[in-house]
Amino acid sequence: MILLIILISSAVYKYWVFVAQRNFIITSEISCDPSEESCFVWDCTPEEDPECDREPYKYISKNAKNIAVCDPYGEQECEELFCSPEEAECEITTCSEDELGDGEICAYEPEALIEDVDTGDTEADVSAGETAN
């Protein structure tokens, strides 16, 4: 009988924490601009894989209680997730070698945009043997 009470109490507590209070961390993909920061991209070829999505993204992890309830399949358009300054449990992760998952690549290398002062070429252009006209 005591075991049954403990099991029911535990289930009620978990329901309260996860459903009623929504007190858990979620991780989701959000849009990313590869001209400004290092973004994740799926390492696939649209011609070979029709489900290949090459749209750049970064990850956001935040507490579910700080996310507005929204039905992404309904008529209302959902607002993209973001971290507000007062959120302690919110983190945005951009792409780096340490953060790559299976099938992901980084879409941007910051050092590739450093301009050569004399020619106006980027390091990527110079390494490819191209020059500005």
Judge whether 133 lies within some domain.
no
Judge whether 48 lies within some domain.
yes
Judge whether 3 lies within some domain.
no
Judge whether 85 lies within some domain.
yes
- DSSP structure string for the chain: -HHHHHHHHHHHHHHIIIIIS--SEEEEEEE--TTTS--EEE---TTT-TT-----EEEEEEEGGGS----TTSSSPPPPP---TT-TTEEEE---TTT--TTEEES--GGGGPBPTTT--BHHHHHTT----
Supply the range of the domain harboring residue 104: 25-127
Q: Considering its fold, how many domains does the chain have in total?
A: 1
Average pLDDT score over residue span 104-113: 68
What confidence tens digit (pLDDT) does each residue in 24-61 have?
A: 899 999 999 988 899 999 988 888 888 888 889 999 99
The mean pLDDT of the chain is 78
